Structure 1
Amino acid sequence: MASTGLIGQYQLSLFEDLSLTAGLRHDSNDIFDDATTYRLTGAYNFRPTGTKLHASYGTGVKNPTLFELYGFTNTYRGNPSLQPEEAKGFDIGVTQALWGEIASLDVTYFNQEISNLITGSGQTSINLPGESEIDGVEVALTVRPMEGLTVTGSYTHTDARDSTGAELIRRPQNLASLVVNYALLGGRANVNLSVEYNGERKDWVWTDPFYMNRQTISLDAYTLVDVAASYDLNENAQLFGRVQNLLDEEYYDVWGYRAEGIGAYAGLRLTF
């Protein structure tokens, strides 16, 4: 499956406080119809109050994967009749500076409508009829209490439903995160702590070996803790290390496929 894409973008700044962006993309595909998508963004900064309004609108296309089209296993058969997903969506929000430059608060509403959403169905994949809608609110607070230290907390509530009103699977309604980043030694060293909460989500369990019947279950919420650090030996060499899932949390994003446990990584990054 060959695909060729052309992308163009135009940026415009007016009156120092207004910025506009327009992007256009054209994809040629040897299996599906050619697709042209676009994205428009705008932001306006009210300097006296430290307030910034921002919004965007865009469209998109996602083609089925080769496995979804032609895959074959003991429990899966590809569906060559699948059509690309088509999406359109917008977001609108406001960012407010607090206590000078010490903190900023951002609140954003987002909405997305997807036609031909691809989902599993028995031993194959299908396009869901009608439009599936995903909307929600994201709130993020960033605080810089001292030089080199940045703390960011965010929360997202999402409501994702298909054309019948049923909740879409594997999309948690509640997500939250806390990221603490500290740069020291004049920026040569960096330490990062990340805590991510993923709320309860729905999934399907097939109750017979022929994948003809299913029931909806709830996957438990989980919290992941990651730590990372780096140190610049010189301009061209950096030591780094990280530990993922520090608390060795047992969790599932897809029922039956347990995610990885604790893992540690270290290395040397060279640039030339």
Structure 2
Amino acid sequence: MIASIELGNGWGIDANYTYNETEDTAGEQRRRRPRNIANIATHYQLDKLTFTANLRIVKDAIDAGVKLEDYEVLDVSAKYQVNPQLSIFARVENLFDANYQDVPAFYTSGEAPHVGLKYQF
């Protein structure tokens, strides 16, 4: 399920939800496939500058019969479009440094800031 709503004055909301009904050959839920995944994002655009915040929600994943912890992760970003080919961006993934696992015993990255330039030919 996907929804995208423009609220006006540069504001918008995007959302998607996936219900995974996956089964292995034994009829059990597939490993590391969360049953429920949702993303909710808001964006604001002011001329050439765009701000975005995205909340990712993952629930009901299992691995080898062990339920993995549900988690939520917030990512934020900003982008400035210098010209049609060049943009400057900054983002922080996992803004609140959530501790979560997609695979048992392997933690994912904590808060991760990035800055960069993107040039399209």
* TM, length-normalised to structure 1: 0.42
State the 1:192 CA deviation: 0.8
| 2:39 is the counterpart of 1:177 | yes
Relative contact order, CA 8 A, sep 6+: which one is greater? 2
Question: One-letter code of the match for 2:63?
Answer: D
State the 1:237 CA deviation: 3.2
Q: Percent identity?
A: 27
Instruction: Provide the rounded CA distance (Å) in 2 between the counterparts of 1:176 and 1:233.
Output: 32
Q: Secondary structure at the match of 2:22?
A: strand
| 2:82 is the counterpart of 1:233 | yes
State the 1:181 CA deviation: 1.7
Q: How many corresponding residue pairs?
A: 121
Q: Among 111, 115, 118, which residue is 1:266 paired with?
A: 115
Gaps of 5+ in 2: none
Q: Secondary structure at the match of 1:269?
A: strand
Instruction: Provide the rounded CA distance (Å) in 2 between the counterparts of 1:163 and 1:217.
Output: 18
State the 1:269 CA deviation: 2.6
Cα deviation code 1:233-263 (max 9, x no counterpart) = 3344322100000010101111111100000
Q: Among 46, 53, 64, which residue is 1:193 paired with?
A: 53
Instruction: Provide the rounded CA distance (Å) in 1 between the counterparts of 2:19 and 2:61.
Output: 12
Instruction: Provide the rounded CA distance (Å) in 2 between the counterparts of 1:184 and 1:194.
Output: 18
Max Rg structure? 1
Instruction: Provide the rounded CA distance (Å) in 1 between the counterparts of 2:84 and 2:7.
Output: 28
Gaps of 5+ in 1: 1-138, 205-215
Cα deviation code 1:115-145 (max 9, x no counterpart) = xxxxxxxxxxxxxxxxxxxxxxxx2222111
Q: Secondary structure at the match of 2:21?
A: strand
Match of 2:12 in 1: 150
Change in Cα spacing, 1:190 to 1:199, as seen in structure 2 (3 Å) is same
Instruction: Provide the rounded CA distance (Å) in 2 between the counterparts of 1:267 and 1:184.
Output: 20
State the 1:271 CA deviation: 4.4
Q: Secondary structure at the match of 1:161?
A: coil
| 2:52 is the counterpart of 1:203 | no
Structure (1 or 2) with the greater helix fraction = 1
Cα deviation code 1:170-199 (max 9, x no counterpart) = 0111111101122212xx111111000011
Q: Among 17, 28, 31, which residue is 1:166 paired with?
A: 28
Instruction: Provide the rounded CA distance (Å) in 2 between the counterparts of 1:264 and 1:182.
Output: 20
State the 1:225 CA deviation: 0.4
Q: Among 242, 251, 254, which residue is 2:100 paired with?
A: 251
Match of 1:58 in 2: none
Cα RMSD, aligned residues only: 1.6
Match of 1:10 in 2: none
Cα deviation code 1:142-173 (max 9, x no counterpart) = 21110432201222211111232122110111
Structure 1 residues 46-57: aligned runs within 5 Å: none
